[in-house]
Structure 1
Amino acid sequence: MFWQIINFFILVFVFNKYFKKPLGKMLDSRKKKITSDLSQAEDTKKAAIELQKESEEILRKAKIEANEILKTAEKKADERREAILDEAKTQREKIIKTAEMEAIKMKSDAKEMLQEEVKVLAVKLAETLIKEKINSKIESTLIDEFIDEVGEEK
């Protein structure tokens, strides 16, 4: 047991003499590396949080801009729809006016044609009546003359 204690102290002495400084340096460098890695990880985490906030802000702005674009597009669509409706109403009114003018013209043409036909029929009727009167006068004159002639011969 005595020898084990002596052996232990010798090991402690050798360890302190030869291994303490290199192991201490290695542990210190390892500690510094771990500390720097932790601080770097903390900085990276902060940067990531900041980038996340920026991306959320950009996304919020993009949504607002998209809504504005959508509202503008809807407004333009409404304006275009109104313009198309106004144009359609104008064309409808032009078509109605044109149709009314054509109807008036057709009515006038039909009236003129009827007047011409009435004139022709009136002339024919007059001719027929005149012929009948002439024929009846001629007949009555002829009959009267015949009677007069027959009466004088007797």
Structure 2
Amino acid sequence: MAPQNMPAVSIDINMFWQIINFLILMFFFKKYFQKPISKVLDARKEKIANELKQAEIDREMAAKANEETQGILKAARTEANEILLRAEKKADDRKEAILKEANSQREKTIKSAELEVEKMKKQARKELQSEVTALAVNLAEKMINEKLDSKLGANLLNVLLKR
């Protein structure tokens, strides 16, 4: 058998009608379905673009909100530190005032006690002097009663009174 020469592409009548049908189908598709499908695709493309824009806006807003939050947090920390420092200073001032008041009160108490001691010393001296005077008078009376010389009694009395 001898090899037959067959063309590389053979087109028979069935294939011809299939190509014609395909071209007619493409024509109808292009005429009736291309616009609605294009509208759907364009609407979808626009929706995706809008969502991307909105996502970018949301991301920027979130970044800005994050920055504001960080700023507020930093300000709050700074204010808290300032409040803490003021409270510590007030506590130190109050402590110093209490210590100063306590020292002042202690000094007053010490001075009062010293004055009281001095007053008691003076009182004791007065009482002692009164007793000595009374004893001297009693002694003088006894001496006079014992018939001592009046001159001697007066001298003795003067000596005792001078002490």
2:129 to 91, 115, 128: 115
Q: Which of 50, 70, 88 is the aligned partner of 2:84?
A: 70
TM-score by length of 2: 0.71
Q: Any unmatched runs of 5+ in structure 1? A: 135-154
Residue of 61, 65, 68 corresponding to 1:47: 61
Q: Deviations over 1:5-41 (max 9, x none)?
A: 6665554333222111011111101110111111110
Which structure 2 segments of 5+ residues have no match? 1-13, 148-163
Number of equivalent positions: 134
Match of 1:33 in 2: 47
- Amino acid paired to 1:47: M
TM-score computed with the length of structure 1 as normaliser? 0.74
Identity value in percent: 56
**Distance (Å, rounded) in 2 between the aligned partners of 1:87 and 1:43:** 64
CA–CA distance in structure 2, aligned partners of residues 78 and 4 of structure 1: 102
Pick the structure with more helix per residue: 1
Provide the residue aligned with 2:99 in structure 1. 85
Q: How far apart are 1:101 and its partner, in Å?
A: 0.6
State the alpha-carbon separation in 2 of the partners of residues 60 and 37 from structure 1: 34
Cα deviation for residue 112 of structure 1 reads 0.5
Greater RCO, CA 8 A, separation 6+: 2
